[in-house]
Every structure is written in C-alpha cells, then in structure tokens.
Amino acid sequence: MTDPVQVVRDFCAAWEARDQQRILDAFTDDGVYHNMPMQPAAGKDAIKALLGMILAPASSVRFEIKHIAAAGNVVLTERVDTFRMGERTVTLPVMGAFEVRDGKIAAWRDYFDLATWTKQASG
C-alpha cells in the first residue's frame, strides 16, 4: 500500500519541477482539483486545462510544506506556495486537503485567500 503522505510529498515535488504530466498522472481518472474560491476541475481534462493556466506563466514554483498530517487516506497540508511569474512573485499561504485512493489523488482542495493571489499577481 502506498503511503498517502508520500503521495502528497511526491505530488508537491512535481509542482516544483513544473512537470505538468507528472502532476496530472498523480490524479485518479475521476479526480477533482478544487481551489476553493473557484469552481472545481473534475476529471483529467479539466484538471489539465487548469494546470496549464497556473503553470504556463510560472517560471518557478515552490511548495513549502510547513505541516503535514494524515488520518487514513486523507492528508492535510499547511503550505506556503510561491510562484514566480515574470517580474512578479506570488507568495500564498494555503491549507490543502488531499484524498488518496490506490496511490493516486482522488480529490485535492486548497483553501486560500483569492485576494492575496490577485493582488500579488496583478500588481
């Protein structure tokens, strides 16, 4: 059985590598990625489209895991995510909830302040 915490750690490393295929492959076919201030992306096609919007403008990504905890197949992370986009750097405190099934992410929900992202991303 795959350790859910390690699945999430590997997933975060894929973001830092900006490896869109590895990120996408970490999801189950029916996976859901939900940035809570927005509509969820359900299924790999929708997740791929969302990843493209996030990763394309980023020249670097860092997911600093402050705390990580698991209960069964649910993994919670407290993170600081940093995206370098052109001349701008967006630093975003995030709480994430991951549901892991058969070694893959079935659901990922990130809770953050959208205004913090928007203010830093737009200037």
Known catalytic residues are: 81, 110
pLDDT at 1: 65
Below-70 pLDDT ranges, the chain: 1
pLDDT at 2: 86
Domains delineated in the chain: 4-122 (3.10.450.50)
DSSP 18: T
Under a CB-based contact definition with an 8 Å cutoff, are residues 28 and 102 in contact? yes
- Give how far Cα 57 sits from Cα of 15, 53, 84, 85, 117, Å: 13, 7, 8, 6, 14
pLDDT at 37: 86
118: amino acid identity, one letter: T
Query: How far is the C-alpha of 85 from the C-alpha of 68, rounded, in Å?
Result: 27
